[in-house]
Each structure stands twice: as C-alpha cells, then as structure tokens.
Structure 1
C-alpha cells in the first residue's frame, strides 16, 4: 500500500483554495478511520458560512503515540489525540466534511504552511461550526459538562458547590486545549463553537455562562481562571459575530487588537514551535505583518523573526542583537 502524497493546491484568480476532509461513515466504531481530501475554493467576494466544520484541538507530541488512518486508501499517520477526535466525530451513516490542519495542510511544505496560515481566520470564520476538542473523557468530565449546562439555564437552580463539582470543572478547564496559542484565532473567528470532550458536548456560549454562574473559591480557581479568562471571552462572543461577512482575497485579519496588545495578553499560551508564538496572533492583529517583516514563513530562522518582532514594536532605528538562540534581545538606542 503506497504512502499518501499531496497534490499542490491550485490557484485561481479571485479565489483562495484549501483542502477539506471527508470523514467517511462506518457502523463499526472500532473500524479503521477512512478519509478523503478534496480541494475547495472560497470565492471573492464571499458572504455567509460554508457547509463544513473546523476542528480546534491540541496536536500532542507528533513523534510519539502515532496512530494510522486511511487517507484515500493510503496509510497516514496522525497523533493519538487527533485519532481519538476522528473516532468520536465519525458518523455511523453519513460523511462529515471537516477542516483539520494536520491533514488538510501539507505539513512538509513550508511554503504551503505559510500561505494556509494567512487563510486561517477565514477558514474558521467561514465554518458552519468550530468543534473544540478537549480530549477523551476523564473522571468527572461528563458530569462537569452536564452541571455547566444546568448552571447556564436560568430556569433551573444552579447546582450546589461541592468539592466534587469544583474538582470536576477545574479538571475540565485545566485541559491543554485552553493553553494552546492557536486556539485563540480559531475561537476568535468562529460563529458557533461546540465544546466536545469524549462523547459529551456543550455549546460554547452555554459553557461560558455556566462557568460564570458558579461561585468558585477564588484561591482554588485563580490560576485556572487566569489561563482561560481571555479565551472564555472570545468563546462567549461567537454567537454575536455577524453570520454574513465579506472576505476579500489576500490576507484576512480579525482585527482584534494590535500585535503588541495581543502579545501582552496571550504570551503565556503554549506553542509547539517558537514561530507560532507570533504567527498564531497575526490573523487577529490589526497591524500589517508584511510591513513589519512578519509574514508567516517557517523557513525564516527564529532569531530573524524575533528581531523583526522587536523592531516592529520599538522602531526600526534601534540596534538589536539576539542572544541565547533567539531567546533574549539586547536593544541599543
């Protein structure tokens, strides 16, 4: 059986192209995951959402715990967390169309990765739903989601605060998904968010309302609250974003704030590559990344990206040297 090989994305005048994934159905939940890729074009101008879903998730270590799926009848390796998500999302009778970065982008093609990153805000903004995959169920996670749904319903009494309830909810919001830097842009663009943990699901807005109605002891909740507070704000706003937005060709941005403001708010979030600490925020920034020399390009060494970032913040008349493999910048004015 041959290994899957990507075909280059085609370019059309006045349209951006991406790949979408067909997740094929199977009545046997233990059967091997089978998928197909096809190319999809966004027309310009473009209004409304499209009939596909987008997956927001944590990759996990790509070097360990690899699982195999069939992609157009060819073996294809995915991380254990993505395999679990595909297993839960697969329908018994009908196919689902989903955008998943690890499969829909040729990760070995650095030029394509850079180009697709510039489309990320549009990809998630045009999806009919963004699925936030927190991972498989763990002790108390199903009960936490159920209690959050009850708390969000004003017609029902908020469940009493108990040690078990507190631990269940804290265990849920301490999942790695809330600390991942790429999820910021993904939820900031989404029109609808469905938070999924194992078989349990809850609407993103309901999740945030339920979380707000619980009166957690501050000392026990403070660390987790600081990690997810700004993420929860982005999730909470999803239902208020316009359903019909015009997107033009070229770079798309959500214009959430300046790059400096975004870095200040979200610098503690985690990334697999240091480049992502910057590139993940460009689609939310109202600044022009090209003028700052910060276009997504993984072939540019991190030290150069870091230097351009510092120059874009403090001005290009400064003298800058990077030390410690690009971890420290020395600025001379």
Structure 2
C-alpha cells in the first residue's frame, strides 16, 4: 500500500427518504468492485442541502459505524437504508455551502460483499492512520433508534439522563483549558465545604471540589453514551492522528484529555463531595477513556520494539466492549496488534474456527500453553456464544471465549 491509500470517490450521499427496499437488492447499483491489489477504498461526499452534485477532495475525516437499518439516504442516486443514528449524524455534519468528504465504514464498504468486507477490515489500521481526523459523535440520538435506549448491563445509562452530553463536553473543555472562572468556582466550593483544610500534595496547586452537578456533567459525557461500549471505536480512536469528540454545539479535542491524564498535580487537586481525593471517582469515570488513551500511546509510540501490543494484551484489554458480530471481538482489534499474528480476516469463517485460530496464534507467539492452562477468559460452562450455537457439541472446549457475556 502506498503512503496514502488509493481513493475511489464514487460514493455520494444526499437526504431523500424512501422505504420498501432492501440494501442487498441495490448494493450492485451503488458499489463498483474495489481492486484489493492496490488497497483501494471508497470515500463519501456529503452534499450541502442546496447542492445536488459535487466532486471529491481529500484529505478526509472519519466517522464511527452505527448499524441497524431504518431510514434511507440517496447514495450514488440510489436509495439506501441507514440507521436513525447515522442519518441524524450525517444531517448534523452537513456543511451549509460546501461538500464534506468522509470515510464511513457502513457506507464506504459494501456490507453485502463478505469478501470485500473482510479485505477492507484488514485495511482499517492504514485507513485510520492516514485520515486527517476522526470524528467521534457522542451527541443525543433519535428516540426511535435502538442505539439510544439504555443497555440493561449499564447501570449508569439505566437512569434518566439529567444533563446532556453537550453540558459535559463544555464542562470538560473548561477543566482541560484550566478556565480561571471555573477553577475559582471549584476552589470556592472546596473552601465552603472544607474551610481551612488543605489536602493538595503539590505546592501552588489549590484543592478543587467537584459538586454533584459537576459529576453528573462528566457522567453524561463519559458514561451516558453507548459509544463508549462499542468495540469498533477502539481502533480508530487509537490510530487516527487527531480525534475530536463531537455533539451538536460542542466538541472536545482528544489531545486535551491526553494532557489532563499526564498532569498529575492538577489531577490530584480534585475532590468530590463523598470523600477527599478524586482518585476513585476519576478512575471509574475515565476507565474506558483511559484504556483507549493507553492503547493510543502504544500505537503511536516511536519505539514499537519497547511498546509492543501483543494479541493477548489487546484482546484482554478491550474484552468488555461490545460488537454485533462476535467475530469482531477479534477482527475489530487486529489492527492494534504489533505481532505477526497470522490471523486472516474472513467473515465466512465459523466462529469456533476463529476462536481456535486466535488461541493457536497466542500459543505460537508466547511459546507456552498459559492461555489454556491459566485461561483468563474462561467461564463456567464454556463460551456462551458457542453454547447457543446449534452445533455447540462440536465446539472446542479448551479454547477461550473472546466474546463477552
């Protein structure tokens, strides 16, 4: 692959709802075959509301995938189903007077072509690394979108969301930019609750108090959105040279979060109303963000031999994240692995065969049987995803379950 991916600009999108069709029936009208020999990809041109035709230009931003199909857009003059969330995001990202060029896996990859999907997934590390920026949409989603409903395994999203993602993003910007008025307010809150006390371990760094309302703002941003539960976000957030978290009316640069995590004196100055010191609170609120940031530091390190991302480490680190296809618990993370793992992406491969392939790869790379003898992924009764399979009796019991239950 060349230093920049070969680009085929044959994917245009306009709003034009229509129903009564299936994407598989029209995909051949939209997508021309890609040439895998030169690592071709497609880009999407998002037209302004008033414009009906345009040309393509690079460099390009990126946008995460959102699945289930309902509304439709006009894609290369053909109506094409998208999720309510993706339709909402495309509308929000539209510019007033000019086109916008994006790479969106749900649209730029022919999802009906298993072979193309397998080949394009294998290219994602290069695609993300070559983009200008990654746009991570965390804003509120349409009420009719299944993605916007609380997940039963997320106790924070089961509660009504009192504050918006926008409020959380604005507050986080104030903290990362060390806004004087905001810091004075937090300092005054601390002095009011703990008069005459000083708990800061660092000189010239005053204690700051996060009120219940402040904590709710951060929860709205870092706990509320189902975005943080999706496995597919990891590779793009880790590999893109620039990442912007975005919602309607606000955005937050990932570099600001990275700087915050490295500023120990400033981080240590925060307290909550529950107890002195905000370490426990910040550890929980930023857990998934910090996992991605750690991987981002590993993936962008100039010393890859000293900062290796092994297959086992990557699969273990992000095991709790969710994917629609259980194969993506492995395929969606391979781009982060620095080892020569030998796993070939192919979505027609039976799940049990993929589990076996991943396990054997780890054994060959580690030159031991720890993944079997001391299996950190073992669960009572074996992998649930395999036990639910109609051929569960044929499932290899010794192999770990990479699919979170």
After TM superposition, the score normalised by the length of structure 2 is 0.64
Q: Against the structure 1 CA distance between its residues 285 and 170, is the aligned structure 2 distance closer, same or farther, given a 3 Å change threshold? A: same
* Deviation (angstroms), 1:155: 6.1
SS at match of 1:130: strand
* Deviation (angstroms), 1:222: 4.4
Kept after mapping to 2: 8 A contact 1:21/1:37: no
Match of 2:293 in 1: 232
Q: How many residues align?
A: 294
Q: How does 1:272-287 map to 2 (within 5 A)?
A: 272-287=324-339
Q: How does 1:151-300 map to 2 (within 5 A)?
A: 151-154=175-178, 156=180, 157-158=182-183, 160=186, 161-174=210-223, 175-209=225-259, 213=266, 215=270, 217-234=278-295, 257-290=309-342, 294-300=343-349
Match of 1:21 in 2: 44
Match of 2:167 in 1: 143
Does 1:107 pair with 2:111? yes
SS at match of 1:98: strand
Q: Which runs of 5+ in 2 are unaligned?
A: 1-17, 142-160, 187-209, 273-277, 373-381, 388-394, 400-405
Does 1:309 pair with 2:358? yes
Kept after mapping to 1: 8 A contact 2:352/2:396: no
After TM superposition, the score normalised by the length of structure 1 is 0.76
Quick one: distance in 1 between partners of 2:235 and 2:174? 28
Quick one: distance in 1 between partners of 2:98 and 2:360? 51
* Deviation (angstroms), 1:181: 1.3
* Deviation (angstroms), 1:154: 3.9
SS at match of 2:324: coil
SS at match of 2:293: helix
Does 1:330 pair with 2:397? yes
* Deviation (angstroms), 1:11: 2.1
Quick one: distance in 2 between partners of 1:229 and 1:303? 31
Match of 2:136 in 1: 132
* Deviation (angstroms), 1:36: 8.5
Larger radius of gyration: 2
Q: Against the structure 1 CA distance between its residues 258 and 203, is the aligned structure 2 distance closer, same or farther, given a 3 Å change threshold? A: same
Q: Which runs of 5+ in 1 are unaligned?
A: 29-33, 41-49, 243-254
Quick one: distance in 2 between partners of 1:37 and 1:317? 54
- Report the more deviating stretch, 136-145 or 178-187: 136-145
Q: Against the structure 1 CA distance between its residues 208 and 168, is the aligned structure 2 distance closer, same or farther, given a 3 Å change threshold? A: farther
Higher strand proportion (structure 1 or 2): 1
Kept after mapping to 1: 8 A contact 2:30/2:76: no
| C-alpha RMSD of the superposition | 3.4
Quick one: distance in 1 between partners of 2:219 and 2:100? 32
Quick one: distance in 2 between partners of 1:270 and 1:12? 29
